[in-house]
Amino acid sequence: MNCIVTAGPTFEPLDDVRRLTNFSTGRLGTELANYLAARGHRVTLLIGKSATYASECRAQAVKAFSTTANLRSTLKTFSGKKVDAIFHAAAVSDFSFGRIFAETKPGQFAALKAKKKISTRQGPLLVELLPTRKIIAELRGWFPQTMIVGWKYEADGGRPDALRAAGKQLADCGTDFCVANGPAYGRGFNLVSAAGAQHFNSMEPLFAELEELPKSRLANKKR
């Protein structure tokens, strides 16, 4: 199959030298890309420039992305092409920077003009954080026939909360599957679909199941 795997974090610039990002290393997506490529599939890995995982990459094509907007535009370039599966494991930044305010007098702030580097001598700043548009919510429109697997990493709550969040992603975004993991879920992964949920203790059995999903989906469509 021809598939796309996204991995690692996006970042959002505050100025030309500072950025907002997260702790994603890109390991899971890179290892999934390696697993699929080793089994003869055509894999394009879209990897965040800030990813720190340094393992050898076996994907036939690798493209680096920076901001959320850059990842969005890169994914859209594949729209209209034959893509059998998208595994969207990238940790897309939930926020971008809006307006920036500098303190002019104690307790008083005024909007700061954009600068290549905001001086630390500027004093206290107030920075507006704006929610980013969710890329996963747009994938179905770009790839109506493609199997889409999303990820839901939850840090707060417990396992039931993580599974509910994964189910909400399916309903809201029209994806076929969602992998739940993170501190809220606990050890391992859960592959959630409209048909139910399946737990995996580690990446290897999860990857094996993910590889089989497009075949099962195609078989169901032919019935």
pLDDT digits (tens, 9 = 90+) for 195-211: 999 999 999 999 999 99
Instruction: State phi, psi for 33 to the nearest 5 degrees.
Output: -60, -40
Tens digit of each residue's pLDDT (9 = 90 or more) over 95-106? 999 999 998 888
Greater confidence (218 vs 82) lies with: 82
Could you tell me how many residues make up the chain?
Answer: 223
Tens digit of each residue's pLDDT (9 = 90 or more) over 55-88? 899 999 999 999 999 999 999 999 999 999 999 9
Residue 180, number of CB atoms within 10 A of its CB:
28
pLDDT at site 221 = 53
Instruction: State phi, psi for 125 to the nearest 5 degrees.
Output: -125, 150
CB 180 within 8 A of CB 189: yes
State the Cα–Cα distance between residues 6 and 3, nearest whole angstrom: 10
Q: Which residues of 75-91 are buried (b: 16+ CB within 10 A; e: fewer)?
A: beebeeeebbbbbbbbb
Q: For the chain, which residues make up each domain, given as ranges?
A: 2-94+132-222, 96-130
- Give me the residue label for tokens 């949920």: 197
At 222, the pLDDT band (50, 70, 90 cuts) reads very low
Q: Cβ neighbours of residue 195 under 8 Å, at least 6 residues apart?
A: none
Whole-Å CA distances, 116 to 14, 98, 109, 218? 9, 15, 20, 50
Residue 179: pLDDT over 90:
yes
| Arithmetic mean of pLDDT over the chain | 93
CB 66 within 8 A of CB 46: no
CB 128 within 8 A of CB 98: yes
The pairing of strands 2-7 and 42-48 is parallel
CB 1 within 8 A of CB 41: yes
pLDDT at site 216 = 66
% of the chain residues with pLDDT over 90: 85
Tens digit of each residue's pLDDT (9 = 90 or more) over 121-163? 878 899 999 999 999 999 999 999 999 999 999 999 999 999 9
pLDDT at site 155 = 93
Domain 2-94+132-222 in CATH 3.40.50.1110? no
pTM, entire model: 0.93
Which sign does the torsion angle of CA 61, 30, 46, 178 carry?
A: positive
